[in-house]
Amino acid sequence: MNAKYIIKKVKRCSTCNGTGMVQHPAWIEYFKEFGDPTNPTRSLGEDRKWFEDHGWYTSSGDIRTDGIPDEEVFCGECEGGGEIISEIELIKAITEMGLFRL
């Protein structure tokens, strides 16, 4: 019998650790420059200018009304689902689980 058996493999997304959300890249850069986000030392106007100067300030519908991107966005790796789903051959799955060796 020449058949190939395929199953779905579901694993937690390593990019977002299964949460479906990641920090927006603009905020990563912002915190590198200005430090601890729990100790704000800048005004909203200064923040807005920083995001504008770095090309992140926009008036599109997918951001906060002040024009600054949301700090967390859907993970691009798992598209916000928290899991990566792929199809693999049954024999490969059995081998990965250590139930069979080729």
Condensed to tens digits (0 to 9), the pLDDT of residues 32-82 reads: 888 766 666 677 777 778 888 888 776 554 545 567 788 899 999 999 999
Residues in the chain: 102
- Report pLDDT for 39: 62
What does the angle CA 84 – CA 87 – CA 89 come to, to the nearest 5 degrees?
Answer: 140
Amino acid at 83: E
- Report pLDDT for 82: 96
pTM of full prediction above 0.75: no
> Which of helix, strand or coil describes residue 80?
coil
Tell me the C-alpha distance between 56 and 19, whole Å.
24
Using alpha carbons, select from 28, 32, 41 the residue that is nearest to residue 72. Answer: 28
53 phi/psi in degrees, rounded to 5: -60, -30
Tell me the C-alpha distance between 55 and 79, whole Å.
24
